[in-house]
Structure 1
Amino acid sequence: MHYTFTPLESWTERLYNHLSISTPEQLNMIDIAAKLQIWLHFADIESTAMDREGLYSLIIDRRLSKQQWEDFGHELCHLLRHAGNQMMLPDLMVELQESQANNFALHFCIPTFMLLKRPIPCLKREFIEDICTTFNVTYSFAEKRIEHFENQVMHFRFTEQINRLYLQQSLVGN
């Protein structure tokens, strides 16, 4: 299948290449945090990211199970792609950052370049369950990621069809 990566998907793949991570089995938040020089802590509090004058720390809620990886992806976005203390930012900026972090987590926790290598079963439910197991995420998270992936594939196919139509029209018009 031909697929065009979004800028975030390309950025994520470059990050993983930089970290020498190419398979789902290598997705380990402790190793990733160490490679990125981020202090990683587990505590009985809500997951959060902190930047103290360039010293990065992530606190992951240890009361969670599979959602820890999802929270790691979300909070990592704040460290790698955002600036500012959310307590000092306007509400709309906080909403934007949270939306971006949610989207980032989907692509970081289930990278497209790895997803494209997975066999796609006949039933969507089976694909979602495979993603849950392979990437250690919750069903609802995997379901959202597959919906994003489907939308990208459909957008790519639509764009290809439109381009073919324009090409045909330009050839007929000449």
Structure 2
Amino acid sequence: MDFPYTPTPFERWVSDTLINAGILSPSDICAEKICSAFGIEYTAHFGIAGSKTTDDGSYIVTDKRLHRPEQHEQFMHELGHVLRHYGDQTNMPDMFRKYQECDAEVFAMYAAIPLHMIDFSRPYSYQSLANEFNVTPRLALKRIENITQKIIWEQNQQQMICEPKAVPYDISQKSAETQRIMNQLKSQLQQKGESYEFKSLL
């Protein structure tokens, strides 16, 4: 599949991981099917969310009090911990814990609206994306902004490559011999009435 931008390695990894697990369409992105594919125990209860991996296996708990899309996003966040992280956050340095939380947040965005399920020929709105992938409008908007920023960045990078910027030629930074030759050329051009503003390309 062709994409309008180059996905990050993380984004590709999330998409490839889901594809290998048979998660191929928005209807597949449900806790039951994902847990079955990855061998994870899952439950929802009236309490805080969490996840843990032990020698006996992995499990995820979500907060049943949340609305369905919020609970789904919470599940995806905890899935990121299960698939990507090790260790007990209560016994790790604060900076490393924050890194894991940030990583799980990005994972949740990529996994809730995976790259391989986005039809880039369609004119999505954040609301239509939220409805199709059963996420909150906030996450759908965040994913759209993420994709838009990547497309704009790549277009700007390509423009910079194709259209190098001309800058004034700084003769004071050149050797004495180069300065002598350039001054001689400048003098000759002045005698002919031609411009002598030298430029170099970055």
Task: State the TM-score, normalizing by the size of structure 1.
Answer: 0.86
Distance 2:121 2:86 in 1: 35
Deviation larger for 18-27 or 31-40:
18-27
State the identity %: 28
Q: How does 1:3-152 map to 2 (within 5 A)?
A: 3-53=5-55, 55-64=57-66, 65-117=68-120, 119-121=122-124, 127-152=125-150
**How many residue pairs end up in the alignment?**
163
Task: Read off the aligned partner of 2:137 and give its amino acid letter.
Answer: Y
Task: Read off the aligned partner of 2:96 and give its amino acid letter.
Answer: M
Q: Secondary structure at the match of 2:51?
A: strand
Distance 2:148 2:41 in 1: 35
Larger Rg: 2
Distance 2:143 2:65 in 1: 24
Q: Secondary structure at the match of 2:61?
A: strand
Task: State the TM-score, normalizing by the size of structure 2.
Answer: 0.75
Q: Is the 8 A contact 2:130 2:137 kept in 1?
A: yes
Distance 2:19 2:113 in 1: 15
Q: Is the 8 A contact 2:41 2:59 kept in 1?
A: yes
Q: Report Cα offsets for 1:55-79 as digits up to 9, x if no partner.
A: 1000011111211110111111111
Q: Report Cα offsets for 1:58-114 as digits up to 9, x if no partner.
A: 001111121111011111111111111100011111111111111110111011222
In the alignment, which residue of structure 1 is the partner of 2:180? none
Q: CA deviation at 1:37?
A: 0.1
Q: CA deviation at 1:50?
A: 0.7
Q: Is the 8 A contact 2:23 2:34 kept in 1?
A: no
Q: Secondary structure at the match of 2:163?
A: helix
Q: Which runs of 4+ in 1 moved over 6 A?
A: none
Structure 2's unaligned 5+ residue stretches are: 165-200
Q: Does 1:158 align with 2:156?
A: yes
Deviation larger for 112-121 or 43-52:
112-121
- The Cα RMSD (Å) is 1.9
Q: CA deviation at 1:35?
A: 0.7
> Compared with structure 1, are the counterparts of its residues 116 and 158 closer, same or farther at alpha carbon in structure 2 (3 Å cutoff)?
farther
Distance 1:136 1:118 in 2: 20
Distance 2:77 2:16 in 1: 18
> Compared with structure 1, are the counterparts of its residues 10 and 55 closer, same or farther at alpha carbon in structure 2 (3 Å cutoff)?
same
